[in-house]
Amino acid sequence: MATALTPRQAEILNLIEDLIEKNGFPPTRAELAKILGFRSINAAEDHLRALAKKGYIELKTGASRGIRILQSNREPASSEVSLSTATSSNEDSFQLPLVGRVAAGSPILATENVIDEYQVPHSLFKSKPDYLLTVKGMSMRNIGIMDGDLLAVRKTQDALNGSIVVARIGEEVTVKRLQKAKNKIILLPENEDFEPIEAHGDEDFALEGIAVGLIRNTALH
């Protein structure tokens, strides 16, 4: 069981969660230090280590964005959200298509790829997604994206380095962290058991969107 946080620690943990929800990935120490007004990155590191010691986050050695939330200090939200099949709409929610296995060569939101639609509360996401994608496998485990979770995705053909993206390489669609390099794109897993995927200029590569949120699979039951 995690130890109670000081008000300052709770503030920083909430900030980290807000940034993950907004950007789809954790902040760096430098970004935290800038937002919080610290003169030194070491001050941000000290707070992160305190949060890790109390069991709220996990710090991945050698990764600039290696912050994984283990326990939220907030009231549970996404894990308790009730999703219903979309039969009607109201002012407090909107419909999102759930994408299943993507047919080779077809647009990700093509009719044959959409297996269901859900009514989703507006309050669940700060940036409105265009669709939900069921996560397959555990390649993003270290940042809390698990097999069976629903990834909320905003369609875009461009994303910043470090973003969590949905990408298509050939006939495969995958969720990975984006890294742009000269003449190639690298899709990085967040699990040491998986290898990075490289896409070179002559390969069939497409960016299908950027992650803007996550719904735990327990929300469906």
- Point out the residues that are catalytic: 139, 176
Nearest alpha-carbon partner for 84 in 35, 39, 117? 117
Query: Is the Cβ–Cβ distance between 179 and 25 less than 8 Å?
Result: no
10 Å Cβ neighbour count for 11? 14
Q: Is the torsion defined by CA of 117, 119, 124, 129 positive or negative?
A: positive
Lookup: tokens for 83: 């999703």
Separation between Cα atoms, residue 47 and residue 66, nearest integer Å: 14
User: For 78, how many CA atoms within 13 A lie in the half-sphere containing its CB?
Assistant: 18
Query: Is the Cβ–Cβ distance between 65 and 55 less than 8 Å?
Result: no
10 Å Cβ neighbour count for 151? 23
Separation between Cα atoms, residue 41 and residue 39, nearest integer Å: 7
